[in-house]
Amino acid sequence: MNSFFKTFFASLLAILVSGIFFFLFSLFVFAGLLSVLSSSGSRSQKGKSHLQPHSILHIDLSRPIVDKPVDNALALFDYSALSFRHQTTLLDAVSRIELAAQDPRIDGIYLEMPMALPTSLATLYELRQALTTFRESGKFIISYADLYSQGSYYLATIGDKIYLNPQGGLAWEGLSANVLFYKGLLDKLGIRVDLIRHGRFKGAGEPLILDRLSDENRQQLTSITHSTWDYLCQEIAQSRELNPDSLQSYADRLAVATPRDALRLRLVDSLLYRDELRDQLNTLIHNTDDPSDDPRLIPLADYHGNPATPSADLLGNPDSDNGIAIVYASGDIVDAGDPNEQIVGNTLAATLGEIRRDPDIHAVVLRVNSPGGSALASEIIWREVRQLRQSEKPVIVSMGDYAASGGYYMSCDADYILAAPTTLTGSIGVFGLVVNLQEGASRHLGITSDGVRTAPGADMGNPFRPLSPAERLYIQNGVDSVYNRFLQVVSEGRSLSLDTVDTLAGGRVWTGLQATEHRLTDATGTLRDAIRLAAQRAGLSDTDYAIRQYPEPEEPTFATLLGSLSGSIVARLGLGSSPSAATGPRLLDRELEHLRPLIPRSGIQASMPFTLEWRY
């Protein structure tokens, strides 16, 4: 009895202490949120009212520019710093650059490049196109870096002047792509994997059964890597008035070893320290009264255009009743999962269905950034895209870094497809994976499996026994059927013969430039181009539409934060009923993400044939 009461009162005390701690923590965070909202609001108002003439738009590339907006404002709150992380979407960035070109208070743009660039090649392409248009206004663009990566240098070359720290560096070694292989590890663990596929280039799963690139994958990987590198060299050479062959020679010889090499080879214009850069900026804005003053820099996140001279921009006219929907399809394509992190087939299809039935939406831009995934989910989304077209609402696809396999499946029936030159797309092929743990489980863990069944294939896919020949043929027939269906939807959507599609398929990946050449896409272009084309196809002028984004970005306000604060705190403290809310499983989830290629997903997959680690 005494033991019972000791346990009871100890548990009661623990609950009381936890309750008090939770209350105090909630109060602390709540007060912080109020403070942050107040200060951010005042900063925003200050930024709007104090933008002076001869200001410079400051684009700091160390802050990531995201493709898809976060639809939960609380997800942007940093609990450790009690502040909001800035969220600048690609749409925001391009729109603000466009507005700055028309703003008489903005004299130019200063691009600040970080040592580690958190921005993808496709996003850099979009920014470079927007900056190209900005230069046509006659305003200056300059860039500065302590160390230029090849990606940041590609963006910087659109500017009038490129400056480098005298003790910094400029990386120019060429483009590489690497694939990790796990067969050796699986062999040691006694794990066997059956890869059942259609398409000799469909190498998804090859890292589980090989220890190096197959001939087919080496061929396609070489092709897309060289296509991307050649594009970068052509663009940089044109901007810097250099010969593309010279740029290739510099990479071959590792000729850019020091900042002075970069200056000698005319890759940069001057070597400057940051205080000298300040003086240069002041000279550009004609601030000669006191050159020691800091130039007037307005961060990209704080700039919202000139209210004195309103003009149409990417977001259109918010007062218009004519809507153009931008639908973001980002991540792996799955049958079930978190729609904030993945593309869930039925969830995205439902969103497209709502848009189709909305009489105020006249066109759709589908922004695809996906390496693929579930073939079934891809088919479900494809069906809704087709129904949108049949409802006479134009559908324009804008491809980001990836629109491959399932990502291409959902795109191929659009009215028009635009890709970035470096987009990885195509990969028209399917596969299935079956894992056999029998040997490893028995040898290393002493685990065996036995049971009964009413038919030979009743436990097909049981990871503790190999596939029988009949089961393997059964899965192969399913893979072949899905592949033939894939060919059919591409053939119909792209108005190509089945034989033509088949020669381009087989799981082969193409860059955006190559895909356009082979008519898998219509042209290279940006999200801005896609919006403009959608408006044209819907018969709308530049000032006669309003942009609606799905998911809709949510700005941090008192009401939105208060509504979700309690549940978020419970989840972050690990007090919720779901195991995924606890810190331990969250950390484990992040670690497992690195091993995702090892974990086959259910059903027949239409995914990229490899996970690329681009070095740019």
Looking at the structure, do residues 463 and 582 belong to the same domain, yes or no?
yes
Q: What is the pLDDT of residue 554?
A: 58
pLDDT tens per residue across span 253-277: 999 999 999 999 999 999 999 999 9
Query: Would you say residue 200 lies in a domain?
Result: no
Q: What is the pLDDT of residue 574?
A: 40
pLDDT at 471 over 80: yes
Q: What is the pLDDT of residue 169?
A: 96
pLDDT at 149 over 80: yes
Looking at the structure, do residues 297 and 384 belong to the same domain, yes or no?
no
pLDDT at 433 over 70: yes
Concatenated DSSP letters for 62-110?
A: TS-EESS--S-GGGGEETTTTEEPP-EEHHHHHHHHHHHHH-TTEEEEE
Looking at the structure, do residues 277 and 412 belong to the same domain, yes or no?
no
Lowest mean pLDDT among 10-14, 179-183, 416-420, 468-472: 10-14
Domain tally for the chain? 2
CA 31 to each of CA 73, 90, 414, 554: distance values in angstroms, whole numbers, following the listed order = 17, 32, 49, 21
Q: Fill in the amino acid letter for 53.
A: P
Residue pair 435/404 in contact (Cβ under 8 Å)? The answer is no
Q: What is the pLDDT of residue 496?
A: 96
Catalytic residue among 152, 202, 393, 607: 202
With cut-offs at 50, 70 and 90, classify the pLDDT of residue 584. Answer: very low
Query: Would you say residue 244 lies in a domain?
Result: no
pLDDT tens per residue across span 400-419: 999 999 999 999 999 999 99
Lowest mean pLDDT among 232-241, 298-307, 520-529: 298-307
Looking at the structure, do residues 293 and 442 belong to the same domain, yes or no?
no
With cut-offs at 50, 70 and 90, classify the pLDDT of residue 11. Answer: low
Q: What is the pLDDT of residue 305?
A: 79
pLDDT at 575 over 90: no
Looking at the structure, do residues 335 and 278 belong to the same domain, yes or no?
no
- Region 153-159: what's the mean pLDDT? 96
CA angle 172, 174, 178 (to 5 degrees): 130
- Region 305-323: what's the mean pLDDT? 72
266: left (phi over 0), alpha (psi -120 to 50) or beta: left
Q: What is the pLDDT of residue 114?
A: 93
**Alpha carbons 430 and 478: distance in angstroms, whole number:** 10
**What's the CATH code of the domain at 453?**
3.90.226.10
* Most confident of the ranges 67-76, 82-91, 141-150, 555-564: 141-150
Helix (H), strand (E), coil (C) string for 582-611: CHHHHHHHHHHHHCHHHCCCCCCEEECCCC
With cut-offs at 50, 70 and 90, classify the pLDDT of residue 568. Answer: very low
- Region 561-577: what's the mean pLDDT? 44
Q: What is the pLDDT of residue 69?
A: 81
Cis peptide before 551 (omega within 30 of 0): yes
pLDDT at 483 over 80: yes
Query: Would you say residue 45 lies in a domain?
Result: no
Query: Would you say residue 318 lies in a domain?
Result: no
State the angle between helix axes of 2-49 and 558-573 in degrees (0 to 180), rounded to the nearest 10.
Answer: 140
Closest of 272, 259, 261, 239 to residue 141, by C-alpha? 239
Looking at the structure, do residues 578 and 508 belong to the same domain, yes or no?
yes
Lowest mean pLDDT among 196-200, 451-455, 497-501, 555-559: 555-559
Looking at the structure, do residues 364 and 297 belong to the same domain, yes or no?
no
- Region 474-478: what's the mean pLDDT? 88
Looking at the structure, do residues 60 and 141 belong to the same domain, yes or no?
yes
Domain that holds residue 386: 323-615
Q: Where among 302, 337, 364 does a domain terminate?
A: 302
Looking at the structure, do residues 415 and 564 belong to the same domain, yes or no?
yes
Looking at the structure, do residues 168 and 277 belong to the same domain, yes or no?
yes
Looking at the structure, do residues 295 and 340 belong to the same domain, yes or no?
no
Q: Where among 269, 302, 335 does a domain terminate?
A: 302
pLDDT tens per residue across span 353-393: 999 999 999 999 999 999 999 999 999 999 999 999 999 99
Query: Would you say residue 280 lies in a domain?
Result: yes
* Most confident of the ranges 28-37, 126-135, 542-551: 126-135
**Alpha carbons 145 and 149: distance in angstroms, whole number:** 9
pLDDT tens per residue across span 196-228: 888 788 777 888 889 898 898 899 999 999 999
Q: What is the pLDDT of residue 4?
A: 52
Looking at the structure, do residues 294 and 438 belong to the same domain, yes or no?
no
- Region 170-176: what's the mean pLDDT? 93
With cut-offs at 50, 70 and 90, classify the pLDDT of residue 582. Answer: very low
pLDDT tens per residue across span 38-86: 444 444 444 444 688 899 999 999 988 988 887 655 555 555 545 555 6
Query: Would you say residue 393 lies in a domain?
Result: yes
Indicate if 39 belongs to the active site. no
pLDDT at 298 over 60: yes
Q: What is the pLDDT of residue 408?
A: 97
pLDDT at 334 over 80: yes
Catalytic residue among 55, 405, 491, 607: 405
pLDDT at 160 over 60: yes
Indicate if 183 belongs to the active site. no
With cut-offs at 50, 70 and 90, classify the pLDDT of residue 289. Answer: low
- Region 159-167: what's the mean pLDDT? 97
Query: Would you say residue 68 lies in a domain?
Result: yes
Q: What is the pLDDT of residue 51?
A: 82
165: left (phi over 0), alpha (psi -120 to 50) or beta: beta
Lowest mean pLDDT among 133-137, 167-171, 209-213, 303-307: 303-307
Q: What is the pLDDT of residue 463?
A: 87
CA 208 to each of CA 319, 441, 598, 599: distance values in angstroms, whole numbers, following the listed order = 54, 18, 7, 10
pLDDT at 598 over 90: no
Q: What is the pLDDT of residue 581?
A: 33
pLDDT tens per residue across span 506-538: 889 999 999 999 999 999 999 999 999 999 999
- Region 9-36: what's the mean pLDDT? 55
Query: Would you say residue 213 lies in a domain?
Result: no
Task: Answer with the residue of higher pLDDT: 596 or 526.
Answer: 526
Q: What is the pLDDT of residue 440?
A: 85
Arithmetic mean of pLDDT over the chain: 83
